[in-house]
Structure 1
């Protein structure tokens, strides 16, 4: 049996990946199903993740239900409200609830569990004990999204990660404005993912181009991904965002992003619009 843990840069498409995986045979992908422990003990947390995975797998096989972020009993591909044009921040429109798993499964089905902040903080020990993947998105697009949501990353904070990364928390505490904290947080995330094995960091852009090929290493399935992936116009998606200011803020962490996005600095010269 295979249990795969998924993490990623916030607002990079981690929930979308779960939705895509759920269209494949013998796969169940759960979006932020755990009540994340914030005690800060990494070794204990890894044991808690393992225990949760075992119990969840058994529960799915026995009862046909599993916890996941959902709306009206259905899993989602985006936990936030759709874009509005009245200047209001987008709020989370999903919550964790038991969801009926209505597909045939073998005893050794592929279980995927996704938590962005929590699993990112524990990337190294989790990758030593589980199959572990991360997803990233072009930082300018991700950073633009951070400005639009009523969520911790808009203030440059990630409590579930900071609980296990006191040096990160102290660094963020020293910064007085949201954008510098966001940049520091993004840099820390990309640095964590550089420790993962080659091929274990996926990009949103690759997923959008060819979802089946991108997810095949995770699922082992040759089946096509049937969940739709919409093209996104960043200017329309994130109205009012100052992309030029965000691009300028990202330049100091170019070296940390370049391994994932070759030519990153040059790409910032081609701003949306």
Structure 2
């Protein structure tokens, strides 16, 4: 991690461990992570140019940093006790999982000095403009990946990419938009979407910090070494729950990965699941 950069982008695949990574980052000494700032998504309604959107994010980091330094409140998705969320999906009706996004709260953060690390976490929003964010030279970028099989099982458990509906944030990534709108078999579509994320991260792996969720879970000190900061409390070690997954899909997912996911297979072995 570049010691001269105090602004950190956390991104990765949806349901791939980025929320937990952000929460763990937040528990490091003199570090703060804002989870999916809602106002940044609003900008997408007016901004199509990636360079302009990148500049808005750069200025937002400066604004949030100044507010935190001055002891002013900052909006963030937090639990009622002020702790960061670790999972945005909860058990819903008839065992189905539903999004339970924390309502943004006004939080006054306490930092030791101006050298604090400020991170912001978004999945598709930041990944879609990753080359532009890197070109700015402003950020250390952490991309988090989880094994494709549990990731895709998780997508199915929460209805992710199960329709042809394209959200605004996804419309800013042409290749992703086209895959979502495609009419092919759902599993093949999801596998190709996962591989698209992998392709992006691998093409930029010399410029980003690519972290596997599994490595972070079993060795949370990896985040300490990366940031050169120590945990101030519990590091929220937590394995993902698998009880909502439809394991009857595993063989189909493996077959599709072999056929359609060359980038994912550079990072993960199917024998690991």
Shorter chain as denominator, the TM-score bin is: 0.7 to 0.9
Q: Is the 8 A contact 1:71 1:94 kept in 2?
A: no
Q: Is the 8 A contact 1:73 1:100 kept in 2?
A: no
* RMSD, aligned α-carbons: 2.5
Measured against aligned partners, the alpha-carbon deviations of 1:229-254 in whole angstroms (never above 9, x if no partner) come to 233463x2425652222222222234
**Distance of aligned partners of 1:212 and 1:65 in 2 relative to their CA distance in 1, 3 Å threshold:** farther
Specify which of 175, 180, 205 is matched with residue 197 of structure 1: 205
**Distance of aligned partners of 1:63 and 1:140 in 2 relative to their CA distance in 1, 3 Å threshold:** same
Matched, 1:259 2:263: no
Match of 1:141 in 2: 150
| Alignment partners' CA distance in 1, 2:134 and 2:233 | 26
Match of 2:128 in 1: 121
Aligned residues: 261
Specify which of 121, 129, 140 is matched with residue 131 of structure 1: 140
Match of 2:17 in 1: 13
Q: Is the 8 A contact 1:155 1:179 kept in 2?
A: no
TM-score (norm 2): 0.84
Specify which of 199, 211, 215 is matched with residue 220 of structure 2: 211
Match of 1:187 in 2: 195
Where in structure 2 are there 5+ consecutive unaligned residues?
none
Structure 1 runs (4+) deviating above 4 angstroms are none
Q: 1:46, CA displacement in angstroms? A: 0.4
**Distance of aligned partners of 1:123 and 1:141 in 2 relative to their CA distance in 1, 3 Å threshold:** same
| Alignment partners' CA distance in 2, 1:157 and 1:61 | 41
Where in structure 1 are there 5+ consecutive unaligned residues?
none
Q: Is the 8 A contact 1:27 1:109 kept in 2?
A: yes
Q: Is the 8 A contact 1:148 1:154 kept in 2?
A: no
